[in-house]
Amino acid sequence: MIKDDCIFCKIANGKIPTNIVFENEDVMAFEDVAPMMPVHTLIVPKQHYENIADDVPVEVLGKVFAAVKTVAEIKGVKESGFRVVVNTNDDARQSVHHLHIHVLGGAKMNIGDPKA
């Protein structure tokens, strides 16, 4: 399913232009418009699922998460390190209700590490 009012559905299906990092038949990765790190890439399934708890078929989850390694390689953070984040619903600050993975990296992360 694709939702007509979902911005990520529109991006993933070519109706809104974006800076595409990676794309295949099932997923698209593109740059976040408000990056929190030097590397902040979003990976979305092309089909609409509200979030990771939306009865997403395991095959879709596998394809979305398989793209993480490819994106990390493309963005040059595979060796130096990166963080993968999935926000689910409003309390977790999911701002767009279309399943998406954040790949964050490109700098030392100080979040949650008092020694960093």
The catalytic site residues sit at: 100
Cα separation, 35 vs 114, in Å, equals 22
Q: Which residues of 32-65 are buried (b: 16+ CB within 10 A; e: fewer)?
A: beeeebebbbbbbbbbbbbbbeeebeeebeebbe
- Closest residue by Cα to residue 84 from 59, 55, 52: 52
**Cα 82 from Cα 19, distance rounded (Å):** 20
